[in-house]
């Protein structure tokens, strides 16, 4: 996953080296750096749970590799990317397993209201090489923060309402 940093250059969050894919990505971006260039990982912090990097506006993008990383990332990141199923309670915009499966690679551009989405296989679009799935509708063109969903109410009775058993 690549993010354009404060310097305007591409910075990559990766968990495994894929020199061919990286070389193609850099070429498509008209970037003359080589896949082994250390500057590609500048500003990217990774551990076994995932990676984070800062965008040009200072907001963070998180790549969550483990379920326990999703909770923290949902609270702090401006965008969360994960190959897992994200909770509907996550307030951050999320690119998750379902969206990646249905739409393939996605390019995002930051807008005032969220992220503009350009998908390889947009939902609801019928093409000869990628037919639309029946019942599939267009996904949101802007990926914005999710509305806050209140957590379930605690149904535990107050101590004053509880009676001791004989």
Residue ranges of domains in the chain: 2-148
Separation between Cα atoms, residue 2 and residue 10, nearest integer Å:
6
More confident residue, 126 or 106: 106
pLDDT per residue over 5-31, tens digit each? 666 665 566 555 567 878 888 888 888
Phi, psi angle pair for 75, to nearest 5°: -80, -30
More confident residue, 145 or 91: 91
Tell me if the pTM is above 0.75: no
Query: In angstroms, what CA-CA distances link 30 with 6, 10, 125, 133?
Result: 18, 11, 29, 35
Q: What is the pLDDT of residue 166?
A: 47
Q: What is the pLDDT of residue 5?
A: 63
Instruction: Identify the band that residue 133 occupies on the pLDDT scale cut at 50, 70 and 90.
Output: low
Closest by Cα among 13, 109, 129 to 57: 109
pLDDT per residue over 52-84, tens digit each? 988 888 889 999 988 888 888 998 999 999 988
């Amino acid at each position: 996953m690549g993010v354009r940093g404060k310097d305007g250059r591409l910075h990559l969050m990766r968990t495994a080296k894929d020199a061919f894919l990286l070389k193609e990505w850099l070429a498509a971006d008209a970037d003359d750096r080589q896949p082994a260039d250390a500057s590609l990982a500048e500003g990217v912090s990774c551990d076994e749970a995932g990676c984070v990097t800062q965008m040009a506006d200072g907001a963070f993008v998180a790549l969550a590799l483990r379920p326990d990383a999703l909770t923290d990332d949902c609270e702090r990141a401006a965008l969360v990317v994960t190959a897992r199923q994200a909770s509907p309670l996550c307030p951050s915009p999320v690119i998750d397993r379902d969206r990646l499966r249905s739409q393939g690679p996605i390019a995002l551009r930051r807008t005032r209201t969220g992220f503009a989405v350009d998908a390889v296989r947009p939902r609801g679009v019928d093409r000869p090489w990628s037919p639309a799935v029946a019942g599939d509708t267009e996904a949101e063109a802007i990926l914005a923060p999710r509305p806050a969903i209140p957590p379930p109410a605690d149904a535990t009775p107050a101590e004053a309402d509880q009676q001791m058993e004989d």
